[in-house]
């Protein structure tokens, strides 16, 4: 069921704002109509199994898959043979991390990641710890960035894998993956990045950035849900993985299972669009993001930006509104889709572990909102969202004894 369309307040009427406004593009994105058009024939007319190599129906499906493989490879500077299709970034992360752990266990049992990684990486590493692997969870600095010297110190002669995300799903911070990859290659360590939030938003080049494994999810870049890919380096160095799914030996034995041809075609088209439009779109999104930041933070005191502004996804804004409960704010702006954390953890009311890693206490972490701008957001929507947030935060603070006390410099804790 689609959300009900609500009436727009008079001051925003006629400005092209249709409610509810969607600004949760880190959770998922609306499919681009051009992607849907590319996919449609593969549901009915071109319905063959890409593994059916003895008739035209299979050949046509395989052709669609191979075109998508090339489109994805072009976007990230890889070759088509280095692309393995999966059901999404969570599966790609699992295949990369568990695949390396199993394949290279004779070389060592040490894996390095960061405390701010997505649960798909953290929970996979925790699973491996139960099998006897040793995992180092690097802290981050106040701006969300990892200290490269800490990464260097964490490596030892048993380190087989470093897995650090390119762009954080909550605070949008971009890690220095090229420098990390260089460190790894100097030590003979494999480097994996979960790039679900980065692919299609910022330029990525697997060779220039020294990436050995890279996870992709279509639905984060205006493609379909339930399909993704794993880039797997074939030379300098060649990376080998143990498969985590057994079956018909699809995807060169790396991922058995009948291919989701329409989804794969959609992922390919989403990558092709990004290849053409990313520079212009990134500038547009950064402009809208900065407009939203300025229109909120210039009108409200006690607001704090979470994460580096310099090293950040163009469409990401994560703001703490002190003395306001995040859940109350979300309910107060229920005609706007935003998030108080990643979609994968929003079922719990625990404070965001990402914000706590930056040094925020529970109260401030609970008072933070993630705004994710995407391809279809407009300036009029940005202005509407800013006005609604300012109005709602101001109203909630009027009801907050702690805000009054802070204004009068009264320490409630004492």
> Which among 251, 296, 277, 276 has a CA at the least distance from the CA of 99?
251
Q: What b-and-e string marks burial along 351-374, b requiring 16 or more CB atoms within 10 Å of the CB?
A: bbbbbbbbebeeebbbbbbbbbbb
CA–CA separation, 363 vs 360, rounded Å?
Answer: 8
Within 243-377, where are the H helices?
261-297, 326-332, 353-357, 362-366
| DSSP string for residues in 6-41 | -PPPGGGTTTT--SSEE-BTTT--PPPHHHHHHHGG
CA–CA separation, 220 vs 197, rounded Å?
Answer: 6
Report yes or no: 254 and 241 within 8 Å, Cβ to Cβ.
yes
Report yes or no: 146 and 114 within 8 Å, Cβ to Cβ.
yes
CA–CA separation, 112 vs 93, rounded Å?
Answer: 14
Give ∠ CA 252-255-183 in degrees, rounded to 5. 85
Question: In the structure encoding, which two tokens stand for residue 192, read together?
Answer: 């994996």
Whether 344 sits among the annotated catalytic residues: the reply is yes
Q: Is the dihedral of CA 293, 294, 299, 305 positive or negative?
A: positive
Q: Is the peptide bond before 38 cis (omega within 30 degrees of 0)?
A: no
Greatest pairwise CA separation for the chain in angstroms: 79
Report yes or no: 353 and 115 within 8 Å, Cβ to Cβ.
yes
Catalytic residue, candidates 125, 184, 271, 344? 344
Q: Fill in the DSSP letter of residue 167.
A: B
CA–CA separation, 192 vs 160, rounded Å?
Answer: 11
Question: In the structure encoding, which two tokens stand for residue 375, read together?
Answer: 């391809």
- CB-neighbour burial class of residue 49 (10 A; exposed 0-12, middle 13-18, buried 19+): middle
CA–CA separation, 314 vs 261, rounded Å?
Answer: 31
Give catalytic residues, as residue numbers.
344
């Amino acid at each position: 069921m689609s959300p009900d369309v609500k009436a727009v307040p008079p001051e925003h009427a006629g400005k092209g704002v249709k409610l509810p406004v969607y600004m949760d593009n880190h959770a998922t994105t609306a499919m681009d109509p051009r992607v849907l058009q590319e996919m449609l024939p593969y549901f009915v007319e071109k319905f063959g199994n890409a593994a059916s190599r003895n008739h035209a129906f299979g050949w046509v499906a395989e052709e669609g898959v191979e075109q998508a493989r090339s489109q994805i490879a072009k976007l990230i500077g890889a070759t088509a043979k280095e692309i393995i299709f999966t059901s999404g970034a969570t599966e790609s992360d699992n295949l990369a991390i568990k695949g390396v752990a199993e394949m290279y266990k004779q070389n060592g049992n040490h894996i390095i990641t960061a405390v701010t990684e997505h649960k798909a990486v953290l929970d996979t590493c925790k699973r491996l710890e139960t099998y006897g692997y040793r995992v180092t969870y690097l802290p981050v600095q106040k701006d969300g960035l990892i200290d490269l010297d800490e990464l260097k110190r964490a490596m030892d002669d048993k380190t087989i894998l470093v897995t650090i995300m390119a762009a954080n799903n909550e605070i949008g911070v971009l890690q220095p993956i090229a420098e990390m990859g260089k460190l790894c290659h100097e030590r003979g360590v494999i480097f994996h990045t979960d790039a679900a939030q980065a692919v299609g938003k910022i330029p990525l080049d697997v060779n220039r950035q020294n990436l050995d494994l890279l996870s992709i999810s279509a639905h984060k870049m205006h493609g379909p849900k339930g399909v993704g890919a794993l880039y797997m380096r074939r030379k300098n160095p060649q990376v080998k993985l143990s498969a985590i799914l057994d079956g018909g030996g699809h995807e060169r034995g790396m991922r058995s299972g009948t291919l989701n041809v329409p989804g794969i075609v959609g992922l390919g088209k989403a990558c092709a669009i990004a290849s053409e439009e990313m520079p212009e779109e990134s500038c547009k999104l950064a402009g809208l993001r900065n407009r939203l930041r300025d229109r909120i933070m210039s009108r409200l005191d006690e607001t704090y930006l979470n994460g580096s502004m310099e090293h950040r996804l163009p469409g990401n804004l994560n703001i703490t509104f002190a003395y306001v409960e995040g859940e109350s704010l979300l309910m107060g702006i229920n005609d706007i889709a935003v998030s108080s954390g990643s979609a994968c953890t929003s079922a719990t009311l625990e404070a965001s572990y990402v914000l706590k890693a930056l040094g925020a206490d529970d109260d401030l972490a609970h008072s933070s909102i993630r705004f994710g701008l995407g391809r279809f957001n407009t300036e009029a929507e940005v202005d509407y969202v800013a006005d609604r947030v300012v109005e709602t935060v101001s109203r909630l603070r009027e009801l907050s004894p702690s805000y009054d006390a802070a204004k009068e410099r009264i320490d409630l804790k004492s």
